[in-house]
Copies of this chain bind each other. A is one copy, B any other.
Amino acid sequence: MDIERSISALNNPVRRQILEWLKDRSNFPPALPGHEDLEGVCVAYIQEKAKLSQSTISNYMGLLKQAGFVNAERHGQWTFYRRDEKNIQAFLAAVQDELLKS
């Protein structure tokens, strides 16, 4: 739990928006054929919704991953990103601790 890296990753409205979108798979187009069982969303779908360049979104997802907010799973040529709820909880607990604990 690197709080520095996590806050830095959250310090951008598009990255926060992506984390919100990822709460619900139905914010994106249907899964690609053969990947219906996967929870995650590919970079191209996220890019389309965020309306930023492919490289920017790839970079953003890398930052969110380093911060622990998402997991990446490669399947063939696609990387499927999904929220890591456990780490998100852990982050919230850590911030709460830092801001409130005596």
Report the Cα distance A70→B47, complex, angstroms: 38
A24 proximity list for chain B (CB < 8 A): 102
A-B contact pairs, 9 of them (CB 8 A): A7-B7, A8-B11, A23-B102, A88-B99, A88-B100, A91-B99, A92-B95, A92-B100, A95-B95
The reply to whether B98 and A92 form a contact with Cβ atoms under 8 Å apart is: no
* CB of A16 within 8 Å of the partner chain: yes
In this complex, the interface size class of chain A, counting residues with CB under 8 Å from chain B, is 20 to 34
Report the Cα distance A95→B102, complex, angstroms: 21
Report the Cα distance A8→B88, complex, angstroms: 19
The reply to whether A10 and B7 form a contact with Cβ atoms under 8 Å apart is: yes
Chain B: which residue is nearest A20 at the CB level? B98
A7 proximity list for chain B (CB < 8 A): 7, 10-11
Interchain CB contact (< 8 A) of A92 among B11, B16, B96: B96
Q: Which of A7, A10, A99 has the most CB of B within 10 A?
A: A99
